[in-house]
Structure 1
Amino acid sequence: MDLAAIRDFLGWCALANYAVLLVWFAAFALAHDRLHRLHGRWFSLSRERFDTLHYAGMAFYKIGILLFNLVPFAVLSLMR
């Protein structure tokens, strides 16, 4: 596999991961109460704890996208 194919792969992976992050944020923002009730059936989470867990999860996911997709993509793009 050549570097251009790997670079393209990382670019598409970054786009797919940002789409997942966007869907997650949209579901969290638009269906917050329903999600809280759903998770409340399984776990005893306060509203503040629920929000904290989701925001932290989104932050870690975004950092993962940056570290594992965008930085290697940028390095391979600069190597061209």
Structure 2
Amino acid sequence: MLTLETLIEFLGWSTLINFTFLLMTTLAIMFLREPIIKIHAELFNLNKEDLSRAYFNYVALYKILIIVFNLVPYIALKIIV
């Protein structure tokens, strides 16, 4: 049975794991941009500007989704318990 404490713990770990993945992705894009762009440009036939925009959109959307679906419910449940 899912208790409130279990749900809070799940959301906490989920938030931590997702933010860690977001940080690793951001660092990879920052420091390995050229090799990543070269691979993706060949795979998807996109130019550098389009790929830079796609990377930014991906990171921004992923961050928003983490906040909306992990962090905010975690904080709300911590407040009411």
Fold shared per TM-score above 0.5: yes
Structure 2 stretches lacking a partner, 5+ long: none
Inter-partner Cα distance in structure 1 for 2:35 and 2:68: 32
Equivalent position of 2:4 in the other structure: 3
Alignment of 1:21-60 (within 5 A): 21-60=22-61
Q: Which amino acid aligns with 1:15?
A: L
Instruction: Give the Å deviation of 1:5.
Output: 1.1
Structure 1 stretches lacking a partner, 5+ long: none
Instruction: Give the Å deviation of 1:12.
Output: 0.5
- Seq. identity, %: 31
| Larger RCO, structures 1/2 (Cα 8 Å, 6+ apart) | 1
Inter-partner Cα distance in structure 2 for 1:42 and 1:13: 31
**Structure 1 residue runs of 4 or more that deviate by more than 3 Å after TM superposition:** none
